[in-house]
Amino acid sequence: MSVSPSTDKMDDMDDAVGRELERIERSFDEAISAASDLQDVARIRSRFLGRKGELASLIKGLGKMPPQRRREAGSLMNSLKTRLEEELEVASARIEEKKRAESLASQRLDVTLPGRRPELGRSHPVSQVMEEIEDIFHGLGFETAEGPEVEHDYYNFEALNIPKEHPARDMQDTFYIARDLLLRTHTSPVQIRIMEQRRPPLRVIAPGTVYRRDSDLTHTPMFHQVEGFMVDDGITFGDLKGVLTLFLHRLFDADVELRFRPSYFPFVEPGAEVDIRCVICRGSGCRTCKSTGWIEILGAGMIHPRVFTSVGYDPEEYAGFAFGLGIERIAMLKFGIDDIRLFFENDLRFLKQF
């Protein structure tokens, strides 16, 4: 008795397998041609080639076939499987290419367009003048020093021979932080700090920010000064005049007219103020020079013997001069600006002109 199915039965089975393979192939072709994204492709892969997919269930049935037919049917199934895999790859590549083309079209780049110019910062006019002043003094052999903006009463006033009852110490003029601590009102305390630490010869400038309770067309509560001083054996008022004249000629013009006037500062003796011929009206009188034809530009003088004593120098042994100038005042003259507050409003239309 034979256990093999009859030939008729086997032919029926082959037909059924063949039809099923055709059906699978047709529905795969339909599905894959409609796939529009990679998720569709993944879904189709799992529907036809997954572990529980349509082809897999057909392959499972192979075991029931006689060995001869099984080989043939298996080979047909394998070639279908290979074809489906290839089609899936082709579809994925097609979808990716389409996506890339769409994204390129939406991000069209015109490489011939002119670039955007980055905004370049530049030095503030006050910094420009400060640097120019420093350069001139460095050329004269001066070095730069710095001091704190929050200062002790002692350095700002006491050691500079500014007595307790002096009006500059009034709450109306000075910003106090505590009883003996304040925002420095000038750069002169740097003189004391440097002389306390070092011995002559000294040639120093000290640029920096200072604070006063002042506000109008020519005064702001915060402004900048440059202090300068020179101490050695045998320094005279002639040195003061020579250095400051040279400096102002370099800063403005070699033919700018200067005037040294007697003045009073408690930390110098004798004291002077230096005026320059008004650079706006050339001396004929205008709003800037208050019709005098002259503009005061700095305070100066020979360092007071009491200041030398307070830093431990012997006033018989050393002499020196000191000066202090307002940088905004100089910047106003150099650039022809008649309101000091413009420097601190940070209006770019103003600042871009320098």
Instruction: List interacting residues with ligand FA5 (CB under 6 A).
Output: 186, 188, 212, 214, 219-220, 223, 225, 227, 265, 268, 296, 298-301, 322-326, 328-329, 340
Instruction: Quote the least distance from Cβ 169 to ligand FA5, whole Å.
Output: 13
d(CA 292, CA 352): 32
For ligand FA5, the closer of residues 32 and 329 by Cβ is: 329
Instruction: Quote the least distance from Cβ 316 to ligand FA5, whole Å.
Output: 21
For ligand FA5, the closer of residues 58 and 297 by Cβ is: 297
Instruction: Quote the least distance from Cβ 155 to ligand FA5, whole Å.
Output: 12
d(CA 81, CA 96): 23
The residue nearest ligand FA5 at its CB is 326
143 touches 206 (CB < 8 A): no
Kindly list the distances between the CA atom of residue 199 and the CA atoms of 47, 84, 134, 187, 312, in Å, as whole numbers in the listed order: 94, 95, 22, 20, 10
* Coil vs helix vs strand at 269: strand
d(CA 213, CA 235): 35
For ligand FA5, the closer of residues 41 and 145 by Cβ is: 145
For ligand FA5, the closer of residues 55 and 295 by Cβ is: 295
Q: Which residue has the tokens 């006689």?
A: 66
Instruction: Give the ranges where the chain is alpha helix by DSSP (H).
Output: 7-34, 38-49, 54-60, 67-106, 125-139, 153-156, 189-197, 237-251, 305-310, 327-335, 348-351
For ligand FA5, the closer of residues 223 and 313 by Cβ is: 223
Consecutive H or E run containing 268: strand 268-277
Q: Determine the residue type at 140.
A: L
For ligand FA5, the closer of residues 29 and 170 by Cβ is: 170
Instruction: Quote the least distance from Cβ 322 to ligand FA5, whole Å.
Output: 4
Instruction: Quote the least distance from Cβ 338 to ligand FA5, whole Å.
Output: 14
Instruction: Quote the least distance from Cβ 138 to ligand FA5, whole Å.
Output: 19
Instruction: Quote the least distance from Cβ 216 to ligand FA5, whole Å.
Output: 8
Q: What is the spatial order of strands in the sheet that 176-178 belongs to? A: 150-152, 181-183, 176-178
Task: For residue 251, give both structure tokens.
Answer: 């800063």
For ligand FA5, the closer of residues 158 and 214 by Cβ is: 214
